[in-house]
A and B are shown apart, each in its own frame.
Chain A
């Protein structure tokens, strides 16, 4: 190690989930390099819809040295093995997109090809029966996966937590690390006349918060990146027409505690059910072009199963992203940089990825190299674009024709990048392969098959094996999966066990 570089004064604007995750990440993983302060205002609420997460959140929590049980207790979190999609391909159809895979490759041929061959002979069980994550989810059971190469390592898990508690948890964590918190509303942005870089934010009470690097976590307002720097917004509403949510928490309606999120297609969008320890999160994500806010509130009240704990609340959003998420010395993280609706729980993932890339490309000493900025923007674009195509698939791969909304998404023209993937699947049952970004083969297969979009043909090698031998082999796999699930504790029981372990440690 050479001489210590001057700490970079990082000013995070916005105290929502993205803001406090950024503060915690930078303060926790770049001690000495970043001196972090955060401006938040109690006058401005937070969106806080991101209650369900992806398995990647675990690496973030772990790297910061946060104890999982303590974190889960503080945020009333439950475990999540995937998402149950209902009525998307057609009404009455349901499948789980698991944090895991289906079966395994045989003779170099992906499991789904063998499954398609079994289906042709009428010998296939539900695809989910061959996935440990799906089978465990359906049985409301949970246990952390093994860290080896066995069947018990074929899944991952994430959390479902109370987003209004997650932000404060990260806030406390950040404050303990020495992050300086400023309460106040930004009324002016000071910029350097020559470079155009932001130099300071002025608060309503006249305080001036100077910095070297500014992270815009101000949500959809995008105060710095959008309003001040005027970074263009790429609008994706034509592909993802949902732009509102009516959110309403309820009491649990039954004793069961699902280790998964439920997404049920609705006439003008879809609704979520996210089980937390103490309540059920509900919401209707809808297209305001197809449904009024009042109608959406009425619909969620009618659909929710437990006793409502609050009035439905309307959230507004728009799908898309900034053309550049890092411009000058301002980096957008979270909604200030882009938004994709919560259908696959990607909001917190996208914020986490931006923070991870920012740490990798952090301007040590405060001097920003344009090459690092370009690298960051390219990575963020790649992440958004991959997720976007996968989300569009959920709407497009449908036979629903029962509403204007579904007629629109079923018949719309999809991005070229998705059209190519769809054709490859249709013609040959194959998935375009990438090793970076989010959502690989298993995820695409789950949605394609789950929504009834079967290919026209599958791998020629599947015809070489006697279908009955194939059926016996798949049955052995199904029984192994079921056997493994039978040894898992109930989700609720496992949570209680972890809570007891935590209490004992304390």
Chain B
């Protein structure tokens, strides 16, 4: 007879940035009887996941499950909404494209059966729809999050949230404290080996040892725990990902926009994330720039620079040590992938929640899927640098994994080969490739279909767009009304 696994008694999280705190919240919620201790300080600016001002739609779902209310993020953490990212210059000077979230599926593929039995491949499927409601709303500056659980003309629109990282952390600390998460603000200095692959405890500055059943490394690129594990190995992504320097800037003027921008310039890429606390700017380059040159690109005062060697840990879970965020994978903050990846990996840990003792096969399954997630991010990032204009700025690079196949299939057939655990859905990858400057080919079935279908689809979309615009309020006015008097927009 099967019995419940013995629950973890204590979990220690190293690193008290937003990621470490959210991991602590997730574990504490899953196992209320388990002591969850966060040790150490928040990692520095090189921990991109911890300093992220935005994530992707998955994070909304995770927050929701963990009791982090979207309304609180908006009211108390400077929260705002992104519907699209505009990619500019990647396909050549003047080339632009939009990346929106979500996937339009026929209703038959949205049922509980389709979820559990898998997405049936429809024979002769055409290319994904080129129409995006999110783009229409962003262009018009109209949006408010649709009320959950009731059908509205904008229910199909998926969105991402932005926030002020410091205020976001404060909010998480409050939730964590309410759940009884313990914080020991002492720097971890080393590990004490245990039996086999496991570590027995971590040693804090001052010499105290703190033991646990599971250790989560959220200490950023320093990887204080996992890098100290005897079986730690690092897979270098330098060959395919060229960014070596990331320049951070003083926030620009606050901006309310449903759109963010990721552009390619002469020296590197520039990311501009709108925020109520200011516009967050970052510049990524392969070669170092003088301060003046960096500031000229950023259009703002440079406040710091992060040196980057991209790559990932070979196995993110070794023994009883599991790395999340920049401790597991280091890469350029080219889009909001850091926190999305870390949150998907955290959700995977909670899905496969181990007991005592940890079994080898559950660790192997976590590592299998977690590595797929990291390599998926690797591929998506590499696509940016393979874009027609990017190769001129960063030099030609070998493509990792199946990225070359994806570009080939997209340009010849308008097809996105399926890969497990990708950060972007098929339709999102389609939009990304188009925004990066590749022209999609046509799937055979679309070539074979007569044009009237297209006209009908366009008419149907235009009707949907009108309904969405009529339903969605002006975004700025809506946000002001939510924040009420006295709260700074």
- A364 lies within 8 A of B447 (CB): yes
Output the nearest chain B residue to A455 by Cβ-Cβ distance.
Answer: B2
Contact of B369 among A364, A423, A433 (CB under 8 A): A433
Contact with A along B1-43 (1 / 0, CB 8 A): 1111111100000000000000000000011110000000000
Contact with B along A128-147 (1 / 0, CB 8 A): 00000000000000000111
Task: Tell me, yes or no, whether A116 is within 8 Å of chain B by CB.
Answer: yes
* Chain B hits for A433, CB < 8 A: 365, 369
Task: Tell me, yes or no, whether A412 is within 8 Å of chain B by CB.
Answer: no
Contact of B4 among A5, A33, A154, A458 (CB under 8 A): A458
Contact with B along A399-430 (1 / 0, CB 8 A): 00000000000000000000010011001111
Task: Tell me, yes or no, whether B231 is within 8 Å of chain A by CB.
Answer: no
- Report the Cα distance A352→B120, complex, angstroms: 11
Task: Tell me, yes or no, whether A441 is within 8 Å of chain B by CB.
Answer: yes
Contact of A29 among B360, B365, B445, B451 (CB under 8 A): B445
Task: Tell me, yes or no, whether B150 is within 8 Å of chain A by CB.
Answer: no
Task: Tell me, yes or no, whether B485 is within 8 Å of chain A by CB.
Answer: no
- A29 lies within 8 A of B2 (CB): no
Tell me which of B45-53, B204-212, B238-246, B406-414 binds A. Answer: B406-414
Task: Tell me, yes or no, whether B124 is within 8 Å of chain A by CB.
Answer: yes
Tell me which of B110-118, B165-173, B428-436 binds A. Answer: B110-118
- A454 lies within 8 A of B2 (CB): yes
* Chain A hits for B110, CB < 8 A: 147, 149
- The winner among A28, A359, A428 for most chain B CB atoms within 10 A is A428
Task: Tell me, yes or no, whether A487 is within 8 Å of chain B by CB.
Answer: no
Contact of A428 among B5, B117, B120, B415 (CB under 8 A): B5
Contact of B361 among A156, A423, A443, A454 (CB under 8 A): A423
- B116 lies within 8 A of A442 (CB): yes
- B448 lies within 8 A of A120 (CB): no
- B361 lies within 8 A of A154 (CB): no
- Report the Cα distance A148→B150, complex, angstroms: 12
- A457 lies within 8 A of B112 (CB): no
Task: Tell me, yes or no, whether B359 is within 8 Å of chain A by CB.
Answer: yes
- B116 lies within 8 A of A458 (CB): no
- B121 lies within 8 A of A353 (CB): yes
How close is A469's CB to chain B, nearest CB, in angstroms? 15
Contact of A435 among B119, B350, B359, B415 (CB under 8 A): B119
- B5 lies within 8 A of A460 (CB): yes
- Report the Cα distance A59→B123, complex, angstroms: 7
- The winner among A55, A117, A461 for most chain B CB atoms within 10 A is A461
Known interface pairs A1-B451, A459-B353, A463-B7; A145-B111 also in contact (CB < 8 Å): yes
- B116 lies within 8 A of A440 (CB): yes
How close is A376's CB to chain B, nearest CB, in angstroms? 11
How close is A453's CB to chain B, nearest CB, in angstroms? 10
Known interface pairs A1-B451, A119-B1, A464-B33; A361-B420 also in contact (CB < 8 Å): no
Task: Tell me, yes or no, whether A360 is within 8 Å of chain B by CB.
Answer: yes
- A430 lies within 8 A of B124 (CB): no
Task: Tell me, yes or no, whether A206 is within 8 Å of chain B by CB.
Answer: no
- Report the Cα distance A119→B124, complex, angstroms: 45
- B108 lies within 8 A of A147 (CB): yes
- Report the Cα distance A322→B352, complex, angstroms: 36
- B409 lies within 8 A of A375 (CB): yes
Known interface pairs A375-B405, A420-B361, A461-B31; A99-B111 also in contact (CB < 8 Å): no
Task: Tell me, yes or no, whether B290 is within 8 Å of chain A by CB.
Answer: no
Interface size for A (C-beta < 8 A) is: 76
How close is A396's CB to chain B, nearest CB, in angstroms? 17
Those of B433-460 within 8 Å (CB) of chain A? 442-445, 447-448, 451
Those of A87-110 within 8 Å (CB) of chain B? 99-101, 104, 108
* Chain B hits for A372, CB < 8 A: 413
Those of A335-376 within 8 Å (CB) of chain B? 352-353, 355-356, 359-362, 364, 369, 371-372, 375
Contact with A along B169-186 (1 / 0, CB 8 A): 000000000000000000
Contact of A440 among B118, B353, B355 (CB under 8 A): B118
Known interface pairs A63-B123, A356-B123; A154-B113 also in contact (CB < 8 Å): yes
- B5 lies within 8 A of A145 (CB): no
- B111 lies within 8 A of A458 (CB): no
- Report the Cα distance A33→B449, complex, angstroms: 10
Task: Tell me, yes or no, whether A30 is within 8 Å of chain B by CB.
Answer: yes
Known interface pairs A29-B124, A155-B113, A435-B119; A461-B30 also in contact (CB < 8 Å): yes
Contact of B31 among A56, A154, A460 (CB under 8 A): A460
Task: Tell me, yes or no, whether B65 is within 8 Å of chain A by CB.
Answer: yes
* Chain A hits for B120, CB < 8 A: 55-56, 59
Task: Tell me, yes or no, whether B417 is within 8 Å of chain A by CB.
Answer: yes
- Report the Cα distance A148→B107, complex, angstroms: 8
- Report the Cα distance A150→B118, complex, angstroms: 17
Those of A432-448 within 8 Å (CB) of chain B? 432-438, 440-443
- A460 lies within 8 A of B7 (CB): yes
Known interface pairs A5-B447, A438-B118; A460-B6 also in contact (CB < 8 Å): yes
Known interface pairs A63-B123, A147-B107; A427-B359 also in contact (CB < 8 Å): yes
* Chain A hits for B125, CB < 8 A: 360
How close is B183's CB to chain A, nearest CB, in angstroms? 24
Task: Tell me, yes or no, whether A153 is within 8 Å of chain B by CB.
Answer: yes
Those of B246-268 within 8 Å (CB) of chain A? none
- B362 lies within 8 A of A424 (CB): yes
How close is A157's CB to chain B, nearest CB, in angstroms? 9
* Chain B hits for A375, CB < 8 A: 405, 409, 417
> What are 8 contact pairs spanning A and B, CB under 8 A?
A28-B124, A30-B444, A145-B113, A149-B112, A154-B111, A156-B113, A359-B124, A424-B361
A-B pairs, top 8 by smallest CB distance, nearest first, are: A29-B124, A463-B4, A153-B111, A427-B359, A101-B116, A460-B7, A362-B444, A460-B5
Chain B residues at the A interface, C-beta cutoff of 8 Å: 1-8, 30-33, 65, 107-108, 110-114, 116-125, 350-355, 359-362, 364-365, 368-369, 405, 408-409, 412-413, 415, 417-418, 420, 442-445, 447-448, 451
Further pairs besides A120-B2, A359-B124, A372-B413: 8, Cβ < 8 Å: A32-B448, A108-B351, A120-B1, A371-B408, A427-B359, A428-B362, A459-B355, A460-B7
